[in-house]
Structure 1
Amino acid sequence: MAPPARPRHTRIPKDKFAVYFGHLKSQPYNESPSGRGAGSHQRYVRRAAGNPEKPNVRFSTELKGHLAGIEKIAFNPVKDAELCSVSNDGVVKFWDVRTKTCINEVKGLGNAHSLAWAPDGSSVLVGNRRGELFQISPTKPVIVASRQLSVDTNQMAFCWSGEKVFLPTTEGKIRILSYPDLEPVLHVNHAVKEGESTEFMLQGHTASCLTTELSPTGRYLATGGADSIIALFDTKDWICQRTVSRMVGPVKSISAASSRAGSGLEVTHTESGEHVHTFKTAGPCEAVAWAPTRYCLAYSDLGVLRIVDVDRK
């Protein structure tokens, strides 16, 4: 289930993480957005980067963005410079963070709030609060396919082969469905009552399961819930191995662990559950994403989408 091998920066040890990231801060970019007045409700994408050996060398940029709050962001798994964002304005946008431009957008998705890239970068799966799922291409301005589910789902994740997708539900369970036909993959091995489903679902939360994320090695599936718990499932036997309970409030995004209540992003070492670092933020962070091949973290902070990038060259 691990992703295909790609060039990556040397892994930063957990005890050195704060050394690399501690001094990186975003600074305002003074370029004024054209054609927008002071009263505009337009959101922006901001990019910030720095060199750990030269903490004063930083830059940031802003991109014209959504007309409502950003719900989820994710890098293209095969193109580090391509970022996708979804908003409850019903629009998905694809960004080139190098040229500061929106390269594609798809409208008409309702109250959209979740998205996940297929591992090969060829499509994006988007969900809204009415239980609808949409398949979208990063190069087409229209919806490719749609599916209505019987249970509302939250932030999903693909397995690394792209053949399965993990869907957390408002019932606190995680469904494992095939892709792209979205049919149950696993079934229980015992008799069920008449009318009951035989679908096997992961159970690790006492409240709505809000998000899920597969580890880079494919060994663990992390899930976050409204019960303020992060659960780590072993993908070999689908047994919950451990839980992380440092969070305050519902856990809505776990590329780096983040909570809706309070401010700050908590980074936790997956194997040990040890706290590694806290990114200070102005407010709650609804969306968080690591770049697939380098130490580059994107997150939304009070309606602004920020990127902190360790340039190790």
Structure 2
Amino acid sequence: MPLLRPRTSVSTEKFPLTFAPLKAQSYSDSTSLSRGSGSHHSLRSIAWNPLGTLVATGAADKTLRVWNPEKNNVRNSTELKGHSAGIEKIAFNPVKDAELCSVSNDGVVKLWDVRTKACVNEVKGLGNAHTLAWAPDGSSLLVGNRGGGLFEIAPTQFSVVSTHQQPVETNQMAFCWSGQKIFLPTKEGRIRILSYPGLEPILHLGHDAEPGGSTEFMLKGHTASCLTAELSPTGRYLATGGADSIISLFDTKDWICQRTVTRLVGPVRSISFTFDGSYVVGGCEEGSGLEVTHTETGKHVFTFKTAGPCETVAWAPTRYCLAYSDLGILRIIGMDAEKK
């Protein structure tokens, strides 16, 4: 087991001084290189394992690969083969360092043991699946498809535990840290707060929104489709990203939108917080550069320069180390990048 470095936070004043001198490491195989600069959408998802010792990538060309962040040569990576269509979302089990889940347009969810490369379980028939979130205790996961279907899955069962059809298309969701609530972004730009596993609305208005209408309380933070949600490690803020190029930060005590991040370009496809919750970054379909924002003040802190759009981003769970897609290639930049 690699020696884990101590978790240290960096102040807003020191952040630019710390990161400006660093250079990103590239992690690519020959097929990634051959795809060229026009393929910035090829990497669809990036995921760190709980200890931050492995990072996985899922791509539109069906490639699922697990990398050692300390060694960027493709010979030190592991390819997991089995999906028949593009991979939309991947995530490690929060409590099992070697269990990875992947969802694909082929309607199949696969669970992998990355140590043996074995697919240890799969659930089929989920339609055009594109979202995935693990319950914090790792005992179950929720998968969504583009038709509004939500499927509860147990890692050891070969069939769906329960199915819930949503009235509107939903996007990348997030659990609260107790596992009792799920935050569900919708195509309408609102975010539903549902119980888990029942998936019933938790909060209600004191009156009907309109005669005969629903009393369900939903978060409103976007003027276009809400594409993703991410809860900060401290649990204080829920960040949501929309097709309106905005990240909204909601205080989880009163559910008021405290601030918005408006420097982004293009639809926000992914959001990631640093391990201490101090900083947030969004991955967008357009532009070049990753904008780092201080969570508590909304202050812009730093811009990571990139070659093109970076629609998927992921801070490491144990240190200031950022993984992101850039022109179809995984890149990692951080305080450990120069210590190889």
TM-score (norm: length of structure 1): 0.79
Aligned match of 2:40: none
Larger displacement relative to structure 2 (228-237 or 259-268)? 259-268
User: 1:173-194 deviations in whole A, cap 9, x for unaligned?
Assistant: 0000000011110011235433
Aligned match of 2:160: 143
Aligned match of 2:304: 278
- Aligned-partner Cα distance in 1 for 2:108–2:175: 21
Deviation at 1:17, TM superposition (A): 5.6
Aligned match of 1:36: none
- Does the 8 Å contact 1:134/1:143 carry over to 2? yes
Larger displacement relative to structure 2 (217-226 or 58-67)? 58-67
Deviation at 1:22, TM superposition (A): 3.1
Residues 23-38 of structure 1: pairs in structure 2 closer than 5 A: 23-28=24-29
Q: Does 1:63 align with 2:79?
A: yes
Deviation at 1:87, TM superposition (A): 1.9
Unaligned runs of 5+ in 1: 1-6, 31-40, 51-56
CA 1:244–1:125 in 2, change beyond 3 Å: closer, same or farther?
A: same
2:7 to 10, 32, 53: 10
- Aligned-partner Cα distance in 2 for 1:210–1:28: 29
Aligned length: 290
Deviation at 1:73, TM superposition (A): 2.4
Deviation at 1:268, TM superposition (A): 3.3
- Aligned-partner Cα distance in 1 for 2:107–2:305: 29
- Aligned-partner Cα distance in 2 for 1:73–1:264: 23
- Aligned-partner Cα distance in 2 for 1:102–1:298: 25
Aligned match of 1:3: none
User: 1:111-168 deviations in whole A, cap 9, x for unaligned?
Assistant: 1111111010111101001110001122233222111111211111111111110001
CA 1:224–1:48 in 2, change beyond 3 Å: closer, same or farther?
A: same
TM-score (norm: length of structure 2): 0.74
1:156 to 146, 154, 173: 173
For the residue of structure 2 that corresponds to 1:49, the secondary structure is: coil
Q: Does 1:117 align with 2:134?
A: yes
AA in 2 matched with 1:64:
L
Q: Does 1:258 align with 2:283?
A: yes
- Does the 8 Å contact 2:28/2:329 carry over to 1? no
Aligned match of 2:56: none
CA 1:42–1:189 in 2, change beyond 3 Å: closer, same or farther?
A: closer
Aligned match of 1:43: 63
- Does the 8 Å contact 1:25/1:308 carry over to 2? no
For the residue of structure 1 that corresponds to 2:27, the secondary structure is: coil
AA in 1 matched with 2:214:
S
AA in 2 matched with 1:11:
T
Aligned match of 2:294: 269
Q: Does 1:244 align with 2:261?
A: yes
AA in 1 matched with 2:286:
A
CA 1:196–1:269 in 2, change beyond 3 Å: closer, same or farther?
A: same
Deviation at 1:283, TM superposition (A): 5.5
- Aligned-partner Cα distance in 2 for 1:79–1:17: 32
Unaligned runs of 5+ in 2: 32-60, 273-280
Question: Identity over aligned residues, as a percent?
Answer: 63
For the residue of structure 1 that corresponds to 2:183, the secondary structure is: strand
- Aligned-partner Cα distance in 2 for 1:8–1:240: 35
User: 1:215-240 deviations in whole A, cap 9, x for unaligned?
Assistant: 00000000000000000000111111
AA in 2 matched with 1:154:
N
